[in-house]
């Protein structure tokens, strides 16, 4: 045990002996890798450590006490909800306390005012089922149904369904945040009374503390409770059917329907997204990367590769599959109307409807991102930008070109340009670029590609509304800011003067580049000596 006996005693007194451990076996169970999101890469190997202690609080008060004790005894700590988000949600420094939030699984739902109040341990599929049972729904972030709803709401939190519902920051209502020194911030209407129905609250909107840069990786405190806005859904049940692994939600076809369209070009897909938005129709939309189709068709890894090896540059560049979700929110007639409008749009653009299964496997309740690991045993979304559709399409194409230099070790994908979609009824365009590699080969090139994308964004002005935590702050801050990095560090200093809340975030990737010898030659930007 590396944290002091005194600190341990205090921590134990907060939660009780059953919910704290320094046992090496228990701590080993919290290792980030070797498998998982971003795991097996240099960042995981160089930057993560095993926790020296794991603690499981039950209440916000306990979290406050733990954080205060950490400050008193100078124990670095990291909050951990499900551990899904790879190395970045695991300890980075020696002698760190991991605060496992799974016991904070409180749940209340307000049907009248359409929101749910969840604890950090509640995951998306739980929330979605509770919502749907009551005629409401939410976006299950593409990261997966297995993620903490809170963690995803303050992190990424989108999917093709965000086309209709919008991005997650708009759905964060009253929220409790334990600051890095243990002080409790009650945001939104919680600041006034014990009612979280309102997100903005009085004065400046403090929700920026949650989502700013890499705040969602736990470097500006710990969210313990959040009210999440739910949206009205249609009334029919989405019926679970099948036996694993062939489980699916059977859709009530007159109220909910996915339709796949083959389109003549990428531009036609983008155009369709625009036109749908202008007509204000649809519940979701996305371009389907050919990977997904192969994953969906394959019953195992080997079968995937059998299918995938039949592809080539030509088939990939000619594959334009648009997947549209229609929801009859108000009535069957509404959906019929939307389908007619959609068909008109698609016909005008030269597209054609394909036979589509009346089921949903991937977006309503089960965002099965885990399936992304089927192909290679590794996966990461190397970059994602939220801007416009015109911006999203070339972003992916550009990355596809860049990727060629790093293939191998990246998986051969014949120039696949990632995927794009529109958010918020066409007001934003989204591009996400997925990469895969063989984790049992040398992965230095993957780490390098990762960094090269940050540079490419700067070079090609693929400015993004969100900076990924894999982008070194001293590289991107001056380019995007120009003083963004200084502001961010000043905020960090103000709220976390002891730098105990998940150090060395937000400088973790900067430190990785310094520490990993295969990354150092890529460093062509200035940075001061790192702390801590």
Partner 1 sequence: MLKGKVKLDVTKLENFEYDMSKCIKCKGCYWVDHIYMPGIKFSTRCPSATRYLFDSYGAYGKMRIGMAMLEGRMDYSDELLKTLYACTLCGACDVGCKRNLDLEIELALEALRIKAVKDGKGPMPEHKKVAQNIITKHNRFGAPHENRNKWLPEGIKPSPQADVLYFVGCSAAYTHPEIAQATVKILNAAGTPFMLMPDEWCCGNMLYSVGMVDEAKKLAQRNIDAVRKSGAKTLLLSCAEGYRMWKVDYPKMLNIPTADLGFRVVHLVEFIDELIKKGALKLTKRVDLRLTYHDSCSLSRLSEPWVPWEGERGEWGMVSPKLERRRGTNGVYQQPRDILKAIPGVELVEMIRMRENAFCCGAGRGTLEAFPDFALWAAEQRLVEAKEVGAEAIVSTCPWCKDNFSRAVNKNGGKLKVYDISELVLASIKE
Selected range binding partner 1 among 101-109, 344-352, 393-401, 427-435, rule: CB under 8 A = 101-109
Choosing from 68, 103, 293, 523, the residue that interacts with partner 1 (CB under 8 A) is 103
Instruction: Return the residue of 6, 13, 16, 35 that touches partner 1, per CB under 8 A.
Output: 35
Contact 151, 86 (CB under 8 A): no
**Interacting residues of 244 by C-beta distance below 8 A, sequence separation 6+:** none
Q: Which of residues 233-292 bind partner 1 (CB under 8 A)?
A: 240, 242-249
Nearest distance in Å: CB 364, partner 1:
9
Residue 375 binds to partner 1 (criterion: CB under 8 A): yes
- Over the window 138 to 177, marking each residue x when it contacts partner 1 by CB under 8 A and - when it does not, the resulting string is ------xxx-------------------------------
DSSP state of 54: E
Nearer to partner 1, 243 or 521 (CB): 243
Query: Can you name the residues that pair with 327 across neighbouring β-strands?
Result: 256
Kindly give the residue spans of alpha helices, DSSP state H, lying in 172-229. 208-211
| Smallest separation (angstroms) from partner 1 to the CB of 43 | 16
Q: In the structure encoding, which two tokens stand for residue 259, read together? A: 């339709």
CA 337 to chain centroid: 34
Cβ neighbours of residue 115 under 8 Å, at least 6 residues apart? Answer: 109, 173, 196, 197, 227, 228, 229, 230
Q: How far is the CB of 249 from partner 1 (least distance, A)?
A: 6
For residues 110 and 267, which CB has a smaller minimum distance to partner 1 in the complex?
Answer: 110
Kindly identify the residues of this chain, within the stretch 391-420, that bind partner 1 according to CB under 8 A: 411
Classify 276 as helix, strand or coil.
Answer: helix
C-beta neighbour count of 169 within 10 angstroms: 15
3-state secondary structure of 84: coil
- Measured between alpha carbons, how far is 164 from 282 in angstroms, rounded to an integer? 7
Structure tokens at 89: 């949600």
Binding to partner 1 in span 104-143, by CB under 8 A: 105, 107, 122-123, 125-126, 128-130, 133
- 461: contact with partner 1 by CB under 8 A: no
Which of 12, 30, 135, 311: binder of partner 1 (CB under 8 A)? 30
Give least dist CB 425 to partner 1, A.
Answer: 27
Q: Give residues with Cβ within 8 angstroms of 129, minimum separation 6.
A: 365
Give the whole-angstrom CA distance, residue 527 versus residue 415: 35
CB of 502 to partner 1, least distance (A): 18
What are the residues binding partner 1 (CB under 8 A)? 19, 21, 23-26, 28-31, 34-37, 39, 54, 56, 82-84, 100, 102-103, 105, 107, 122-123, 125-126, 128-130, 133, 144-146, 240, 242-249, 300-302, 305, 361, 365-371, 373-377, 411, 438-441
């Amino acid at each position: 045990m590396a944290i002091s006996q005194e600190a341990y005693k205090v921590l134990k007194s907060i939660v009780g002996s059953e919910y704290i451990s320094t046992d090496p076996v228990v701590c080993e169970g919290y290792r980030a890798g070797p498998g998982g999101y971003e795991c097996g890469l240099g960042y995981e190997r160089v930057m993560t450590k095993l926790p020296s202690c794991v603690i499981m609080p039950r209440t916000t008060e306990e979290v406050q006490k733990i954080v205060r004790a950490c400050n008193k005894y100078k124990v670095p700590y990291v909050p951990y909800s499900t551990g899904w988000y790879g190395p970045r949600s695991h300890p980075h420094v020696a002698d760190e306390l991991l605060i496992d939030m799974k016991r904070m699984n409180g749940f209340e739902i307000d049907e009248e005012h359409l929101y749910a109040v969840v604890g950090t341990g509640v995951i998306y599929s739980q929330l979605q089922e509770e919502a749907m049972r009551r005629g409401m729904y939410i976006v299950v972030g593409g990261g997966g149904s297995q993620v903490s709803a809170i963690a995803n709401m303050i992190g990424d939190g989108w999917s093709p369904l965000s086309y209709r519902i919008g991005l997650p920051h708009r759905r964060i209502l009253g929220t409790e945040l334990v600051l890095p020194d243990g002080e409790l911030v009650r945001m939104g209407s919680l600041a006034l009374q014990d009612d979280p129905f309102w997100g903005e609250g009085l004065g400046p909107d403090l929700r920026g503390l949650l989502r700013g840069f890499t705040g969602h990786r736990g470097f500006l405190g710990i969210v313990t409770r959040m009210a999440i806005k739910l949206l009205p859904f249609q009334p029919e049940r989405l019926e679970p059917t099948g036996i694993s692994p062939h489980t699916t939600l059977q859709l009530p076809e007159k109220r909910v329907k996915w339709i796949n369209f083959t389109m003549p070009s990428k531009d036609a897909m983008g155009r369709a997204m625009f036109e749908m938005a202008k007509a204000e129709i649809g519940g979701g939309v996305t371009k389907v990367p050919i990977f997904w189709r192969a994953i969906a068709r394959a019953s195992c890894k080997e079968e995937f590769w059998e299918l995938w090896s039949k592809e080539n540059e030509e088939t990939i560049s000619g594959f334009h599959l648009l997947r549209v979700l229609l929801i009859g929110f108000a009535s069957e007639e509404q959906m019929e109307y939307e389908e007619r409008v959609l068909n008109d749009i698609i016909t005008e653009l030269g597209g054609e409807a394909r036979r589509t299964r009346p089921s949903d496997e991937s977006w309503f309740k089960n965002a099965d991102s885990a399936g992304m690991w089927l192909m290679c045993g590794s996966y990461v979304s190397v970059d994602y930008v939220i801007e416009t559709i015109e911006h999203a399409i070339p972003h992916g194409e550009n990355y596809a070109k860049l990727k060629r230099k790093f293939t191998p070790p990246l998986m051969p994908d014949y120039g696949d340009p990632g995927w794009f979609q529109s958010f918020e009824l066409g007001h934003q365009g989204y591009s996400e670029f997925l990469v895969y590699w063989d984790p049992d080969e040398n992965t230095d090139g993957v780490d390098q590609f990762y960094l090269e994308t940050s540079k490419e964004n700067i070079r090609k002005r693929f400015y993004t509304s969100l900076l990924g935590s894999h982008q070194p702050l001293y590289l991107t801050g001056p380019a995007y800011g120009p003083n963004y990095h200084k502001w961010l560090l000043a905020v960090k200093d103000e709220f976390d003067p002891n730098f105990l809340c998940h150090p060395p975030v937000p400088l973790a990737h900067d430190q990785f580049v310094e520490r990993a010898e295969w990354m150092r030659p890529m460093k062509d930007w200035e940075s001061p000596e790192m702390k801590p």
